[in-house]
Amino acid sequence: MSAIMQSGTPSPSTDLHTPLSVIHGFVKAVENGSICKELAQECILYVFGHNIQGVSKATRYLSAEIKNVFEHEHFEEACFLREGLEIIMKERFARTFDIERRKTSHLCMDRNVYNVPGDILVTPPRPANFDMDKLQFIEATGTLKRLRDSESGYTFGIGHSAAIHLTLGYRHHGQGIEIYLAVYEKYYPISVNMSSLPYNPPNGNDTEEDS
pLDDT of 55 above 60:
yes
Average pLDDT over residues 190-197: 57
Domains and CATH numbers, the chain: 16-204 (3.10.450.50)
DSSP string, 158-195: -SSEEEEEEEEEEEEETTEEEEEEEEEEE--TTTTS--
Residue 43, C-beta contacts closer than 8 angstroms, at least 6 positions apart:
53, 54, 55, 58, 179, 180, 181, 182
Radius of gyration of the chain (CA): 18
pLDDT at 100: 66
pLDDT at 111: 40
- For the chain, the first-to-last Cα distance in angstroms comes to 32
Nearest to 9 by CA among 143, 167, 163, 135: 135
Question: What's the per-residue H, E or C state across 4-22?
Answer: CCCCCCCCHHHHCCCHHHH
**DSSP tag of 131:** -
CA 82/CA 17 separation, integer angstroms: 18
CA 15/CA 5 separation, integer angstroms: 14
- How does residue 154 score in pLDDT terms, banded at 50, 70 and 90? confident
Average pLDDT over residues 14-39: 91
Average pLDDT over residues 176-189: 91
pLDDT at 151: 76
pLDDT at 146: 93
11 sits in the region (left: phi over 0; alpha: psi -120 to 50; else beta) called beta
Q: Per residue in 57-101, pLDDT tens?
A: 999 999 999 999 999 999 999 999 999 899 999 989 988 877 766
Nearest to 108 by CA among 98, 123, 120, 95: 123
pLDDT of 106 above 50:
yes
Average pLDDT over residues 156-184: 93
pLDDT of 123 above 80:
no
CA 61/CA 63 separation, integer angstroms: 5
